[in-house]
Amino acid sequence: MHEPKEPAAEITAVEAGSVAAEAGLRAGDRLLAINGHPLRDVIDVHIYASEPLLTFRIEREGAMLELTAARRYGQPLGIHFERLLFEDKVHTCRNACDFCFVRQMPRGLRDPLYVKDDDYRLSFLHGNYITLTSLREEDWERIGEQFLSPLYVSVHAVEPEVRVGLMHNPRAANILDDLQRLVAMGITVHTQAVLVPERNDGAHLDRTIEALADLHPGVADLTVVPVGLTRWHDPRLRPYRDDEAAAVLDQVLAWQTRLRGRLGIGFVYPSDEWFLRAGREAPPREAYDGRIPALYENGVGMVRTFAENWPQLREQMRAFGGRRQAWVTGTLFAPRLQHYAHRFHAETGIEALVVPVGNRAFGETITVAGLLTARDIIHALRSRPAADRILLPEASFRGPDGCDLLGTPPASIAQALRRPVHLVTMPAP
């Protein structure tokens, strides 16, 4: 019988001038341990490689080697890996949330999109939101021992019966105890509440905001997000109407005003969709209390970031040339983008045609650019006046090799429509 291999990290690249390069590590090596410590994931790698003297235990072409190097202050480690997690699979979600987006997705997307991630390691590494219901005692111990902060937590509601009713997991009732435990460890927590009409909004949202604000500064903030429903959603659920979105926005902003006086920050932040649905302008950057970088991927501050970076975006799009450009976007942002199209024409002389793309892959209730597919973009452009250039949002093509959710590259749009396409890159928030 073959003995199982010990956990190892497959190295895909080594940066020149890094401590790994000086030690002699190469792409293709399997990294087994650093300073005698076995490695479960990339978190262990960076923690154990923080010492000034390093010994790397590796496997190279079947041979076991030990390579050493001294790490200077500020010198990059310089190792890139095939996977972030070495010893086991992603910890998946044990809940059965009525509004789970993964359960609503169509067939045919990239395989990783169907993984219901609830892994604290990916929360620490990438800002993924987790529910805390999947944590084992050894996970809690590691979070405290390695000080894995910040973490991002989906709360949704603090009342046990409401949260369990949404998530269908008795373990979900303990959310306040779990958050208090994290705060006691010194872990900073960013939280979110995905609101479902008539389930966890109204007075339930008031109680959620109040309870989480009581845990500040350990709980750093709360993002309020409207539920996203595809055409395959649970028929008992529905999206927010525009008037309801405006009411939720007013409720959250009122809490912001009260908490700013009490905590010194607004604490609770509506995602941009509430402002767009209500037809309101995004607030100035100072209203976000420096939280935009941490909460940007949750839809907070994107409209403000676009507005602030308009001169840079304008020059980027001007450089693409043409007499008429087609600007592709989701239906939610299209009315706001039309304003910039008029400005662009006046400032550059290039006509800009905003093309809002209805989402046939997920359903018309999905209105954001990040979930558009090349197939739907082609369909929308074929019914529009011709343009010299097609400008695509980079958010639609964030898959491997710059592909969409179906694995289709932007070049397929250029080929289908016989016109050049360009990706518009949004500056970092």
Q: Which residues, including other chains, have CB under 8 Å from residue 247's CB and lie 6 or more apart?
A: none
What is the Cα–Cα distance from 405 to 372, expressed in whole angstroms?
A: 8
Q: How confident is the model at residue 385 (pLDDT cuts 50, 70, 90)?
A: confident
Q: For residue 4, what pLDDT is reported?
A: 44
Instruction: Please tell me the class of the 9-81 domain.
Output: mainly beta
Q: How confident is the model at residue 7 (pLDDT cuts 50, 70, 90)?
A: low
* Mean of pLDDT values over 371-381: 96
What is the Cα–Cα distance from 156 to 189, expressed in whole angstroms?
A: 14
Instruction: Please tell me the class of the 309-424 domain.
Output: alpha beta
* Helices 334-348 and 310-318: angle between axes, nearest 10 degrees: 60
What is the Cα–Cα distance from 297 to 128, expressed in whole angstroms?
A: 9
Answer whether 9-81 and 309-424 agree in fold. no
Q: What is the CATH number of domain 102-305?
A: 3.20.20
Each residue's pLDDT tens digit, 156-165: 999 999 999 9
Q: Say how many C-beta atoms besides its own lie within 10 A of residue 231's C-beta.
A: 14
Q: For residue 110, what pLDDT is reported?
A: 77
Each residue's pLDDT tens digit, 85-109: 997 778 889 899 989 988 888 888 8
Whole-structure pTM value: 0.92
Q: What percentage of the chain has pLDDT greater than the value 70?
A: 98
Q: Where are the domains of the chain?
A: 9-81, 102-305, 309-424
